[in-house]
Amino acid sequence: MVNNIKFYLSLIIARCVHFAVVHIAHSQGTSLAGKIVLKFYPQFLSHCKKYIENQVITVSGTNGKTTTSGLVSHILETDKNKVIHNLKGANMLTGIANVFSLNISPIRRFDYAVIESDEAYLNKLYDYINADYLIVTNLFRDQLDRYGELATAASFIQKAIDKDDNLKLILNADDPLVTNFGTNRQDVVYYGFENVEYHYQTDKSNAPTEVFNCICGKPLEYTKHFFAQQGHYKCSCGYKRPECKYNASVDVYTDYSVIKLNETVYTTHLVGLYNAYNALAAISYALENNIQSETIQSALDTYKSIFGRTEKRIINGHNTLIQLIKNPTGASEVLKTVDLSSNIVIAINDNYADGRDISWLWDSDFELLKNAKRKVITSGIRANDVATRLKYAGIPCDKIIIEPSIRKAIELAAKGEDKDIPITILPSYTALLKINKEKI
């Protein structure tokens, strides 16, 4: 009875805090209400599970969490389900509690919960919520000051998985680190690409690639190598890429991809191979749960990217594409897709949520921008560092403009009468938050 009272009071407190944050502080309020609720009632998330009628689906990994969880949620909604989802990407416990506290009411139930979880917080999340599914996208080196090396990030996820023998895993078979999570598990499904075909000119990334050894200690050998450690791998000891239940091929075009899976063709208008992987992960979950292919394609057709994940906007009449960058592999894959005829803004901060360590800029393949036809504007707290990196990437200094103010940088990119010139914005996480807060 006491817990019920605390839970209902938490819902009231959350709504009051959120109202104040949005209308007084003029913030989006993605975490503060959740932080206060968890202080007031630490077991709040445990209480939320009874408001979910069917499944709780969690999504984790280094890159692609927000897009994959967004696609899964949208597919379920297209299939006429009520879904609660932390769609704005606030993926620590406070952000997850924030979403639940603002959407749950005593008389409202949801069919599904789709929860994007930060790798380091997944284990803590599972202390409160027993998930039905975990989708793991990939594991790349990211924010060394927060996560440490890849083995540390992998251990966070492994500890979470070990808590529940009934958890169903959907894993990226093309990532040798991710497939290890399926070892000694009965209920695991793999997805991956058999073939990848590019239908536009793209330079091969020269970004450093992690070298992985088999569990026997020998280096893995690749028969097909897509990007970073993603591909078809094997070892002389017999270890190899696992058999995929959802084994697809993909044709990657400049602004869409065509995925062929079991004689069915799916089209996603998200750009880049990395987004094709995200789409395949969501498709695999949907097919695993008997959702019709027509419904899946309808969801892919109507899905709208949000919060800097291939997000499209119109700024001062210019078509604008916003793509979050935050680590070497993710940034290098995004850089492959940049329209070199666009005005480019690269806005990098080094706040806690970005990661204080910005050495990843030097491991990202900014050389892919050396043929940029127009100005490249560096912005954010580390605008000067980015400009230095671009100079060494071979971009002429007369094309590089340093403007620390993110608002002014974007205004500069959008200045001019020729509205046919597109804009590309590549922000770090808190730079993206600033863009959204100031409604640029």
Q: Which two three-digit tokens encode residue 30?
A: 């993605």
Of 382, 429, 329, whose CA–CA distance to 95 is shortest?
Answer: 429
Q: Which helix (H) or strand (E) holds 146?
A: helix 144-147
Contact 11, 101 (CB under 8 A): yes
253: three-class secondary structure by DSSP: coil
Compute φ and ψ for 4, nearest 5 degrees: -60, -40
Rounded-to-integer distance, Cα 413 and Cα 419, Å: 11
Contact 431, 406 (CB under 8 A): yes
How many Å is the Cα radius of gyration of the chain? 22
Residue owning tokens 């919960």: 113
Name 223's Cβ contacts closer than 8 Å, sequence gap at least 6. Answer: 231, 232, 233, 234
Active site residue 79: no
Rounded-to-integer distance, Cα 268 and Cα 271, Å: 8
DSSP E strands: which ranges in 43-142? Answer: 52-60, 83-85, 110-116, 133-136
In this structure, the dihedral spanned by the alpha carbons of residues 186, 126, 247 and 271, taken in order and rounded to 10 degrees, is 180
DSSP 8-state code for residue 203: P
Rounded-to-integer distance, Cα 259 and Cα 398, Å: 41
Compute φ and ψ for 248, nearest 5 degrees: -120, 170
Out of 162, 187, 301, 357, the active site residue is 357
Contact 417, 317 (CB under 8 A): no
In this structure, the dihedral spanned by the alpha carbons of residues 137, 143, 147 and 151, taken in order and rounded to 10 degrees, is 60
Catalytic residues: 357
